[in-house]
A and B are shown apart, each in its own frame.
Chain A
């Protein structure tokens, strides 16, 4: 492909297609996500938002089209590849293991080890606890202890821990798939405030929600999807909630 994506884009996708046995979930999606931009992705249930971000997160592979990260075409074979590229995802369903502690959760798959043989090693638990306390404090979350089980936390606190994890691993792009679902008003406000602050920390945000007010409260740009296609792509200050609603 000649088109290598917009020059200032951190992630570009070109002509993405995805089929799920018969269902054409993405029908040629092309988008650019610019550095330090917060993009709101909206659309009805089944519009293909999760499918798109699952591809960006390395969880699914596109059937056609390409993903360009920082100017080079990438073929991600798993979530680990995406993480290594600095793309962290906070999923719609909870991305935490409820039966494990906060410290254990933050480091799943990326555990610091004291020494290792062939990739297996003894956990550096002191470091895990210390760094998770720091990571939690960094996102302004107040929790009792890094040893508390994630299953004991409220929905908002869990999202907070997921965000802390993403920040701890110095993500460049943070994808949040409906992070405000099932959250209280106060917790929602906190997540929105957090997304708004990401640009200042040099992080690009892709924020998925079907609540337009949430998107307009914290994003620079809004992308609307319907039936697997992008139907609107505007800067927030050049559009309105009504206009977005009209295209959906």
Chain B
């Protein structure tokens, strides 16, 4: 293709190698997750120094990798949904409701696999409800899922009967989800589940026609509708997936700590949104990546853990996450603008 409408910023005589390098810079700057990735490395370096080398030692990494999948799985679903142009504030409550449902059913004598199926089914139903109400009544999903946040949390407490049901861990193949594996037991099984989900959802978004519909639906709804994409169904599918991932993550936490607590996952919805935003997902939809959400979630875990190790007052944790969220949005907007201004042959 010829270069016809090339504007300033590119002298015609510039050698090809220089031009190639600018092209790479532009492509990199257009990646929404880049800022977060750079920051992640900087923070890891800083905490490594501040903690006198404890941060990157084996045991700490083991702890970090053990907790990461829980918030990251939630963040993956939330990121996907946000790219589709919608929002889910109920994930924190669903995170608790799913394992609570499972635990209560198991106390009633249901076998583990049936209880897990029922729990995930309930999550799917919640996602479906969120999606249907949002679309059918044209209400912002922010409001619908805020309502669901309260309802699902309330349901969790009600079905728990006020105190956590006893999980008989010997009846549960918990090894499948939380056992330590890998070199020296560095990872838990949950990490592998998380990796598999992250890769699958990432491929779904970037390599399939469904992913193309998700981006189009979130990117500019009227255009997506005009091309005949079933935008309502695409959104509902994302709502359902988001809820199910939140429930699955909650189940993993329950199996890790050995009991289902009614208060699990409180505030997690905001961490997940923060993770998505820090990773470059735009609140307006259409822009973002699963990798970005994962990097955002990792950043949050790293800050939490690194601050403890560095003996910083842990009350600063939320301050740091908040600052990071705002900073990331500003940085991303700036980089996108700069990248756009760079007219190079791409």
Contacts and interface: CB of A to CB of B under 8 A. Distances in A.
Partners in one complex: yes
Interface of A: 57-59, 78-80, 83, 89, 91, 93-100, 104, 107-111, 113, 116, 119-123, 125, 133, 136-137, 142-145, 147-149, 151-152, 154, 157
Nearest to B218: A99
Contacts of B225: 59, 79
Given A97-B215, A100-B219, A157-B5, A120 B226 contact: no
B215 A143 contact: no
Contacts of A108: 212-213, 216, 223-224, 227, 229
A44 B286 CA distance: 34
Interface in B195-226: 207-213, 215-216, 219-220, 222-226
Contacts of A83: 227-228
Nearest to A57: B226
B149 interface: no
- The 8 A-B pairs at the shortest CB distance, nearest first, are namely A80-B228, A97-B219, A109-B227, A111-B209, A79-B228, A99-B286, A142-B4, A99-B219
Interface residues of B, number: 32
Interface of B: 1-6, 30, 207-213, 215-216, 219-220, 222-229, 282, 286-287, 340, 345-346
A43 to B, nearest CB: 22
B345 A96 contact: no
B224 to A, nearest CB: 7
B216 A97 contact: yes
A113 B209 contact: yes
B219 A145 contact: no
A107 B340 contact: no
A109 B213 contact: yes
A49 to B, nearest CB: 16
A19 to B, nearest CB: 20
B268 to A, nearest CB: 28
Given A108-B213, A142-B2, A98 B226 contact: no
A151 B222 CA distance: 15
A120 B208 contact: yes
A100 B222 CA distance: 14
Given A79-B227, A97-B286, A142-B1, A107 B212 contact: yes
A242 B220 CA distance: 40
Given A91-B226, A144-B6, 12 more contacts: A94-B220, A97-B215, A99-B286, A109-B213, A109-B216, A111-B212, A122-B207, A123-B208, A142-B1, A148-B346, A152-B340, A154-B5
Contacts of B211: 123
A59 B224 contact: no
Contacts of A107: 212
B223 A99 contact: no
A89 to B, nearest CB: 7
A155 to B, nearest CB: 12
A13 B212 CA distance: 34
A121 B1 contact: no
B1 A133 contact: yes
Contacts of A119: 209
B28 to A, nearest CB: 14
Contacts of A98: 219-220
Given A144-B3, A145-B1, A95 B223 contact: yes
Given A57-B226, A99-B219, A100-B219, A123 B1 contact: no
A103 B5 CA distance: 19
Contacts of B220: 94, 96-99
Contacts of B346: 144-145, 147-148
Contacts of B227: 79, 83, 95, 108-110
B209 A121 contact: yes
A147 B344 CA distance: 12
A79 B209 contact: no
A152 B346 CA distance: 12
A151 B340 CA distance: 9
A137 B227 CA distance: 22
25 contacts: A93-B222, A94-B223, A95-B223, A97-B216, A97-B223, A98-B219, A99-B220, A100-B212, A104-B216, A107-B212, A109-B228, A111-B212, A116-B209, A122-B208, A123-B211, A133-B1, A136-B1, A142-B1, A142-B4, A142-B5, A143-B4, A144-B3, A144-B346, A145-B1, A151-B340
A95 B208 contact: no
Contacts of A151: 340
Contacts of B5: 142, 154, 157
Contacts of B207: 122-123, 125
A87 to B, nearest CB: 11
A38 B219 CA distance: 33
Contacts of B222: 91, 93
B228 A78 contact: yes
Given A93-B222, A97-B286, A144 B228 contact: no
